[in-house]
Structure 1
């Protein structure tokens, strides 16, 4: 059990029951996987109050206050907002002078972090409906029938140059260092591969010349 976590009432009852049966505090702590100090404190409270009710305010205090929760809600609602835009909103909403660094720390305190967005093809409602209607007939397929399916896919890999170098670790002065450039050419050499898998396992990876379509 994590440090500072509240003890469930069920554990309180077990501790008191074993204590009333004459079991030592050390054995109680060992059997319930609790610290000796925790068991001692619960038994001490039982001796003083004669009850196993949990005192108000026990347990770890909330990490986020009301302002942090409001900030977190805003960040989740507007996921693509910049820190500067969030700072402007926070200053108006909380009626306080807040710096970008303050908001950045508050965002981290809300257990949020800025990431580079994943790129995914945009699907409009018509495309989504077509995919739904295509997949719906397969909803009632049995496991045995799915085992007859061969799953295949192809992928294009750009050789040598490709999309390498999107990120680089450097100093501010190294921006014109050739080793820090993102290498790119107009028509990079590429390699097309095709692979498959089924319920029996994975198939071989095949290198393909040219493009791959349903007929090929």
Structure 2
């Protein structure tokens, strides 16, 4: 069951068809407004005296705190850098990923080695296979860098659920 907002145009179309003596089910089918809503609109129209259209009811619930422009800015930020944390997004303008349609996902693992990369590694190994121990000792080794060969170390990305898992949101 949808909670679609009934606009003034919908109300005018329903009342015009009602005045033309259409059956309520036909009105519902032609306008796309639910039958129960059509029944309620016709009842309100009759109660008002049949000379003015019933006004759409005010929307219930808490009003939105963010302006549409702010939502656009946040949406653009998350699109350009999906690995932003909610705290980082919140520090700029106020955040609301769920209202924008973004959800937090585990970042996609990077692809494993391709055939070409494997061939290049074998070439590298064969090139330096003939080195003796003294030559290897002259190489300056640096063990400061940490990296993951098989994928991300648990990063999160924000993206709409309908978006495919592209390299854009891969860590």
TM-score (normalised: structure 1): 0.37
Q: Could you say which structure has the higher strand fraction?
A: 1
